[in-house]
Amino acid sequence: MNKKKQVRWKKYLPLYSMLIPGIVYLIINNYIPMAGIMVAFKKYNYSRGILGSDWNGFKNFIFLFKTKDAFTITRNTVCYNLVFIFAGTAAAVAVAILLSEIRAVRMRKMYQTLILLPFLVSIVVVSYIVYGFLSTESGLINHALSDAGKNKVSWYSDPTWWPFIIVMVHTWKNIGYNCVLYYAALMGIDSSYYEAAEIDGAGRWQRIRFITLPAIRPTVSIMILMAVGKIFYSDFGLFYQIPMNSGPLIDVTNTIDTYVYRGLMETNNIGMSAAAGVYQSVVGFMLVVLANWIVRRQDAENALF
């Protein structure tokens, strides 16, 4: 038995060796930095360093949760990510099904156009959203409002519309990558199911509802579980650079990631920033375990672990 295991190990040794770069990357970037968690429990002193700084227990966490910022950054991070998950998944699945239906009817020219179009249009649209749509003087909406005799909207001082702007930009930014994943899952569906359903008189919407959507449910479940794992993380560029770090927009754009960055760059409070980072990681891990437990109770095959 031991000889068989040894032969099997040698047989797959080249494949195992391919894991080495990934393992090294994870150790260097994910595990070694975990030693820095101690900063969250210390009163950091630059002259004395991490190990020489005094311990202060949970004071950094207590100070963090006593401020209104703790609720604001938690609310924004979680709520935005929940909307991103549902809106992004729905949009990506819809686009993937659209491409699949176009392929099914063999409209090759239109299919190729729709494949290339998002990549070409996205550059123009996203750039226009950031520099044209949100421009107080030359933006399209402000031109329309001015022509109608109404006051222009100062986008970077009015937080009213920013939740919608952020959701729209994030969805458009990620729809291409996600729809490719769902499209690949759709390509794995046996075409005989569609042929049998068509013979039985099922319409296009019925085929999508009873064949397509159930077939890609495992992929959707895995993607949602992976997204839940990052529900306490946010796109730094989306929440910091696009709003241009505007003060009036802080309440609707401040997330845990931007809060940590501002804590380091503006207030120089390393201890509280580290405490916010630990809080982010611990709660994110708990949410992954909870979401996986819920999925496992419903359908064990779709769970991650």
Q: pLDDT tens-digit profile of 235-271?
A: 888 898 888 888 888 889 998 888 888 877 877 778 8
Average of per-residue pLDDT values in the chain: 79
Residue 249: give its domain's CATH number: 1.10.3720.10
Q: Is residue 79 part of a domain?
A: yes
Q: Is residue 44 part of a domain?
A: no
What pTM did the predictor assign?
0.75
pLDDT for 195: 82
pLDDT at 299 over 80: no
Got the DSSP string for 156-185?
Answer: GG-GGGHHHHHHHHHHHHHHHHHHHHHHHH
pLDDT for 83: 93
Domains of the chain: total: 1
pLDDT for 116: 47
The Cβ of residue 147 has, within 10 Å, a number of other Cβ atoms equal to 8
* Domain limits for position 170: 58-302
Q: What is the pLDDT of residues 28-40, one digit of tens each?
A: 988 888 888 888 8
Q: Is residue 103 part of a domain?
A: yes
pLDDT at 114 over 70: no
- The region of weakest confidence among 47-51, 132-136, 218-222 is 132-136
pLDDT at 112 over 60: no
pLDDT for 135: 60
Q: Is residue 116 part of a domain?
A: yes
What 8-state DSSP symbol labels residue 189? S
- The region of weakest confidence among 5-9, 22-26, 39-43, 187-191 is 5-9
Question: How much of the chain, in percent, has pLDDT values that exceed 70?
Answer: 82
- The label of the residue with tokens 């950054």 reads 73
Residue 23's pLDDT band (cuts 50, 70, 90): very high
What 8-state DSSP symbol labels residue 153? P
pLDDT for 25: 92
Distance CA 291, CA 226 (A): 10
Q: Is residue 218 part of a domain?
A: yes
Residue 129's pLDDT band (cuts 50, 70, 90): low
Q: Is residue 226 part of a domain?
A: yes
Greater pLDDT, 155 or 130: 155
Q: Is residue 9 part of a domain?
A: no
pLDDT for 127: 54
Q: Is residue 274 part of a domain?
A: yes
Tokens standing for residue 147: 């022509």
pLDDT at 93 over 80: yes
pLDDT for 17: 86
pLDDT for 265: 80
pLDDT for 85: 92
- The label of the residue with tokens 């938690």 reads 74
